[in-house]
Amino acid sequence: PGGGRKVVSGVGDLATVFERESDIEVMKRKIDSTRCVDRDPGAGDASAGAKSGDESGAWKERAWPTRAMPYPIPVQGDEVPLISIPKRPAWSRTMGKKEVEEKEEKVYAEWIKSVYETHPKDSLNFFEHNIEVWRQIWRSLEKADVVVLCLDARIPLFHFSDAMFEYITLDLKKEVVIVMNKVDMVHPDLVKKWRDYLVKKTGVPVIPFWVPRSTSGFVSQHGGVKELIEAIRGCSVARDGARLPASHFFDHAESPREQEDGAERDYMTVTLAGDPNMGKSSIINSIFGKKVVSSSSTPGHTKHFQTHFLSRRVCFCDSPGIVVPKLGVPKPLQVIFGSYRIAQVREPYSIIRYIAERC
């Protein structure tokens, strides 16, 4: 399996491409969904009330289950093997466009072949098969001086990729800040526990974040923006074989000079990366205090990476969402949390059943 797969390349509009399921697989799920729902009797018991000290009142009085449900996915690299991601092959400015792309296609084809030869297809999640999307990720991460990894606070480990984190920090040697977005949908106690866990796991700053809804072009800034900017300022940036504090670029806002080919940039770039539907575009809009990039609840709305200058020496880059290969991830969960477009779902019954069993 996997030996006959061709490199999928987007033509025209850059689109996410997942492995197509067979009709037999879809029919099996349909039949399985007709079984009587066996709900966990304790998971849905909301008889006990919970109180929180959150001043907003959003979580002041709310019923919570009396028994915690098991975490829905295995821990990558611990409970299941960690799958690597494709890495851009070495290139130089003396190489032509065709030569660079041929090297990329060869490396990518070997990688995706090895994924399917090493792991059973039914154990894999839906993950990105379009090399054009991977090229956007490679280039946006190479441009970065600091990478902001965006996670959904409701289920952070589902969206965190150890393979991507290692590629950024070890291979590219970039510093990382993690943003847990949508914390307004999670109990503050859980946000704190996840933040502590991720700080211990990664050793990088973890910033709770939420994006206020706005019906106009104005997007109000809030405390999360200030905390995120301070975390980025605390990182370091590689220049001329040394590392400069990122705060240098925030504090010295003179106009960037024209750069000769291959010269070091005198501005820094912050790239936002992560799964589709993490709110990366909305986070950038919050930082700028206005709508500078288009955002949508539809996964994969951002097609190409986009750059916007916050000041003359600080540039933010919004990259497309990318789904990396993982083992043991329930596919219904990918639909529920926006990693897979609802419009592409071939049967909704297994997803409805997955939710019903856990209500």
What is the pLDDT at residue 240?
Answer: 85
Residues 6 or more apart in contact with residue 304 via CB below 8 angstroms? 14, 136, 320
CB count within 10 Å of CB 264 equals: 10
The answer, as to whether pTM is greater than 0.85, is no
Q: Residue 311 pLDDT > 70, yes or no?
A: yes
CA distances to 40, 155, 208, 298 from 199, in Å? 32, 16, 12, 30
306-311 and 175-181: which strand pairing?
Answer: unpaired
CB-based contact 323:137 (threshold 8 Å): no
Among 46-50, 144-148, 340-344, the range with the most confident prediction by mean pLDDT is: 144-148
What is the pLDDT at residue 326?
Answer: 95
Q: How far apart are CA 286 and CA 288, in angstroms?
A: 5
**pLDDT of 96-136, one tens digit each?**
999 999 999 999 999 999 999 999 998 999 999 999 999 99
H/E stretch holding 197 reads helix 188-202
**pLDDT of 68-84, one tens digit each?**
566 778 888 888 999 99
Could you tell me how far CA 162 lies from the centroid of its own chain?
A: 11
DSSP symbols for 168-187: IIIIS--EEEEEEE-GGGS-
Q: Is 309 helix (H, G, I), strand (E, B) or coil?
A: strand
Of 176, 137, 157, 171, residue with least CA distance to 80: 157
What is the pLDDT at residue 220?
Answer: 54
CA distances to 160, 268, 322 from 85, in Å? 13, 26, 11
First to last CA, the chain: 37
